[in-house]
Amino acid sequence: MTTTEPTEPTEPDAAPSRLERPETEWQRVSPKYIPVDMIGTLIFGAIATAVAFVPFWLGWAEGWMLGAGMAAIFLIVLALTPRRVRAIGYLLRDDDLLFRRGIMFQRFVAVPYGRMQLVDISRGPIARAFGLAELKFVTAAASSGVLIPGLPLAEAESLRDHLVAVAETRRAGL
């Protein structure tokens, strides 16, 4: 007579998350967006650091620590910028556009095509110099506003036209 030992129930392989399916290929922003974001951060950081040094310039001897701390924070932000930009992506799905961003604090937003009210392209002076644009989606819900930065202008225009066309067909079916 053979005895069999009881076996632990095995868990089936965990199904991949709906957001992280292996067959999904996220569209990334242009690598040209890294210097655009760094330049913007550098300008803002220089102004904020200069303001943080004001107490030192007004005679508070320990005020230099505030300015040095602010400079250190912006140097860390600059160092993390390339990784943060690579984390930005979007995915066109059957019923919605999925947008993600963030390294530590990730944000995933799904914008249903039928709920899009406005698809807008903006270009600041630095982004324009690099041939980039940002695409903004507006829906009725204020919290679902999505901004995809760092798209080449031609890609932003074709994506805008595609989304407007799909949104019109989805709204007609409501």
Containing H/E element for 52?
helix 33-52
Q: pLDDT value at position 20?
A: 55
pLDDT tens per residue, range 111-133: 888 888 889 999 999 999 999 99
Shared-domain flag, residues 61 and 117: no
Shared-domain flag, residues 57 and 130: no
Q: Can you give the pTM of this predicted structure?
A: 0.79
Shared-domain flag, residues 143 and 95: yes
Whether 5 maps to a domain, the answer reads no
Shared-domain flag, residues 101 and 151: yes
Mean pLDDT of the chain: 85
Q: Average the pLDDT over 9-29 and give the result.
A: 61
Shared-domain flag, residues 76 and 60: yes
Cβ proximity of 149 and 40 under 8 Å: no
Highest mean pLDDT range out of 30-34, 97-101, 114-118? Answer: 30-34
Q: What percent of the chain has pLDDT over 90?
A: 60
Cβ proximity of 107 and 100 under 8 Å: yes
Whether 3 maps to a domain, the answer reads no
Lowest model confidence (mean pLDDT) among 15-24, 53-62, 69-78, 109-118 = 15-24
Q: pLDDT value at position 11?
A: 45
CA 81 to chain centre: 12
Domain count, the chain: 2
Parent domain of 58 = 33-84
Shared-domain flag, residues 78 and 149: no
Shared-domain flag, residues 42 and 61: yes
Shared-domain flag, residues 92 and 80: no
Q: Average the pLDDT over 56-83 and give the result.
A: 94
Q: pLDDT value at position 144?
A: 62
Whether 128 maps to a domain, the answer reads yes
CA distances for 119 relative to 45, 60, 83, 133, angstroms: 31, 50, 27, 13
Whether 110 maps to a domain, the answer reads yes
Cα distance between residue 145 and residue 122, in whole Å: 14
Q: Is 148 exposed, middle or buried (0-12, 13-18, 19+ CB in 10 A)?
A: buried
Q: pLDDT value at position 90?
A: 94
Q: Residue 168: pLDDT band by 50, 70, 90 thresholds?
A: confident
Shared-domain flag, residues 93 and 164: yes
Q: Is 21 exposed, middle or buried (0-12, 13-18, 19+ CB in 10 A)?
A: exposed
Shared-domain flag, residues 125 and 168: yes
Q: Residue 7: pLDDT band by 50, 70, 90 thresholds?
A: very low
Q: pLDDT value at position 167?
A: 85
pLDDT at 12 exceeding the cut of 60? no
Containing H/E element for 59?
none
Q: Average the pLDDT over 12-38 and give the result.
A: 74
Structure tokens at 47: 């102004």
For every residue of 128-158, DSSP letters joined together read: HHTTEEEEEEEESSGGG-EEEEEEEHHHHHH
